[in-house]
Structure formats: C-alpha cells, structure tokens
Amino acid sequence: MRYLAYLLAVLAGAALSFEGAIYAELGNTIGKLETSFYNFFVGSIILTLLWIFFGKGRLSYTLEAPKWTLLGGMLGVVYLTSIVVSVPFVGVGLSMVSVIIGQLIMSMIIEHYGWLGSIGAKINKEKVFAVISMIIALILVY
Amino acid sequence: MGILMILFTLIGGLTLSTQSAINGTFSRKAGTIETTLLTFLTGTMFLAILILFWGQGNLSAIVEVPNWQLSAVFLGVLFVLFIVIAVPKIGVIATNITVITGQLAIGMIIDHFGWFNSLVIPLDTSRLFAMVFMALAIYFIYKGNVRSNKEAKQFVESPS
C-alpha cells in the first residue's frame, strides 16, 4: 500500500506538468482566471458524478470540521492561477522550478512542526540529503 | 515583470504544499472523493467571484478551442485525488518529493518532443543526470521516512 502511495504521487506530478503546459495554451485563448474557473467548474461536475457512484465517506463532516481544513480549494486556485499567468511570461521550465522550490520549503516546514494535522516527522539527515539531491537535479535541468 | 511572475509562482508552490497537508487531514474524516469534491466546489465559488470583478478574458470562447486543451481538467482532478490518498500514508514531504520527480520527468519529456506547442528542448546528458539525482532523492526520502516511523513507534511503545 505504501508503494501504491508513491506511485500515485509520481502520477500526480506527471498530471501537474501536463496540466500546466495545456492550460497555458488555453489561458491564451479564453483568459487566465477563466481557465482556472473552467478547471474547477468542470472538475466539480466530474467529482459530483464520482461521489454519487463511489463516495464512501461523509460529506456532511464539512459542517463539523474546523474551518481551516476547508481552505484547500482556495489554495488550489492560487496555485493554478499562478501557473497559467506566469508560463507565457517566463516559460514552463522556470515556472515549474519556482513552484518546486516553494513546495520543498513549505512541506519541510509543515512536516517538521507537524502543522495542519500532518504526521509531524522531524527533519533528519536523509531528508536533508534528499533535498540536496533535488537542488542538484534542478541546477542540472536549468 | 519576470521577477514578479517568479515570486507569484513561488507562492503557488507554497500553497500547493499547504493544500496537500490540509486536504490530507480533512480526508481522514470526510473521505477521499468527498475531500476532492469540496476542494473543487469551493475553488469554483471563489473563482466565480474573482471573475465577476476582474475577469478580462472571454469564457464563451471555450466552445471554439480544440478538445485537447479542455481535457486537462481530468488531470487536475486526478492530481488532487491522488494527493489526498498519498499524504495520510507517506506524509507531506515524501508525497511532494515524489510529485516533483513526476513533474520534472514529464516536464523534460514534454520539452524534448515540444508537445502542446511548447519550446523544443532536447533531453541531453545533464538532464539525464538530473533524473539520476531525482531517483536518489526519492531513495533518501524513503529511508528518512522509515527512520522517522521507527522513532515514532519507539516513542509510543516506551513513553518516558
């Protein structure tokens, strides 16, 4: 099951790159904010269908949950809009590098302090090595 | 303008990680599909308001664009869905490093073939070396996580 989680995360990253490249093109035709809106609107429709057929959880938990756990959608809007806006100006490469640096910094901080209900694993030697390897990879790519 | 864009995208990266963490937490009680649905519903509402005030594009042009440009929505849904599954199992850092590897690997392939009207940047030796370092990063993150889990377990078994 752990291996499956890693596999899904790789696929998620691949989806992110395809999405960025494709939406940059769509953004040139219909507008940046409109592209984000399209993604979230049609995404809602697809997910409503998925939920009707396969939803096993409890959507009503939304009303009881702490309010900060409901902010995921708003944060996703910031990410997607930033990509659609910046790709035509600085290119896919540089945009992805900036996103990645942001991701690395934030996930280290979140997990080290166990913020936002995360597992709360301390930063250790191996994780620092991992980040150094990622930075070397980034330098080699661009 | 360029610097401003890079900063904006950096913030995009910060919010992406924060979203992963928040959604991972929410999904433990609400469920995977439910969390993803809520993310998209609230995103839609938020953007509807933004567009009412600042929308300058032409949403109706959507009927004229080629279908492949519209297909990206499935990728967006899959991304959030997969993240919601992975974060509670392997943690925020491991998920993100793995996501990043997928992002860069596919990014390089898109560049190599110049898909989706992007620039053609061939896959050269330095880019191949970069892939090796990324594989190394995943290996380290996996080992680091195994160690954190062991330490956490010891702490539970023998509380001081």
Question: Which residues of chain B are within 8 Å of residue A19 when distances are taken between CB atoms?
Answer: 72, 75-76, 79
Q: What is the pLDDT of residue A93?
A: 65
Q: Looking up tokens 């938020």, which residue turns up? A: B46
User: What residue in B sits closest to A67 (Cα-Cα)?
Assistant: B26
Lookup result for tokens 């790789």 = A10
pLDDT digits (tens, 9 = 90+) for A12-47: 888 887 887 788 878 878 888 888 888 888 888 888
Under the banding of pLDDT at 50, 70 and 90, the label for residue B157 is low
Average pLDDT in chain B = 79
Residue position matching structure tokens 């078994």:
B157
Nearest to A133 by CA among B104, B128, B103, B135: B135
Query: Which residues 20-79 of A are in CB contact (within 8 Å) with B?
Result: 21-27, 29-44, 46-48, 50-51, 54-59, 61-62, 65, 68-79
> How would residue A92 be classed by pLDDT, with cut points 50, 70 and 90?
low
pLDDT at B154 over 70: no
Contacts of B44 in chain A (CB under 8 A): 37, 40-41, 43-44, 73
Q: Residue A4: which residues within 8 A CB-CB, separation 6 or more? A: none
Sorting pLDDT into bands at 50, 70 and 90, what band is B112? confident
Task: Convert the pLDDT of each residue in A47-82 to its tens digit.
Answer: 888 888 887 877 888 888 888 888 888 888 888 888
- How much is the ipTM here? 0.77
| Band of pLDDT at residue B90, cut at 50, 70 and 90 | confident
DSSP string across B81-146: HHHHHHHHHH-HHHHHHHHHHHHHHHHHHHHHHTGGG-------HHHHHHHHHHHHHHHHHHHHHH
- Give pLDDT, residue B130: 81
pLDDT of residue B160: 40
pLDDT tens digits for range B37-88? 888 888 888 888 888 888 787 777 888 888 888 888 888 888 888 888 888 7
Q: Do B86 and A9 touch (CB under 8 A)?
A: yes
3-state secondary structure of B56: coil
Residue keyed to tokens 């898109």: B110
Distance from CA of B106 to the nearest CA of A (A): 5
- Say which residue, A93 or B72, is predicted with more confidence: B72
Of A6, A40, A137, the CB nearest to B40: A40
Residue A142 has pLDDT above 70, yes or no: no
Q: How confident is the model at residue B35 (pLDDT cuts 50, 70, 90)?
A: confident
| Minimum-distance CB partner of A55 among B24, B31, B41 | B31
Only one residue has tokens 């390089």, namely B108
- Number of domains forming the structure of chain B: 1
Name the residue facing B98 among A9, A31, A137 (closest C-beta): A9
Q: Which of A38, A134, A137, A141 is nearest to A91 (CA)?
A: A141
Q: Inter-chain contact B43–A85, Cβ cutoff 8 Å?
A: no
Q: Which residues of B touch A113 (CB under 8 A)?
A: none
Rounded Cα gap, residues A140 and B85, in angstroms: 31
> Residue B35 and residue B26: Cα distance in Å, rounded?
7
Higher pLDDT, A19 or A96: A19
Those of residues 82-121 in A touching chain B at CB distance below 8 A are 82-83, 85-86, 89-96, 98-108, 110-111, 115-119, 121
> From residue A66, how far is each of A118, B44, B97 by CA, in Å?
15, 21, 28
Of the two residues A121 and A116, the one the predictor is more confident about is A116
Provide the residue range defining the domain that includes B79: 2-157
Residue B66 corresponds to which tokens in the numbers above?
């080629």
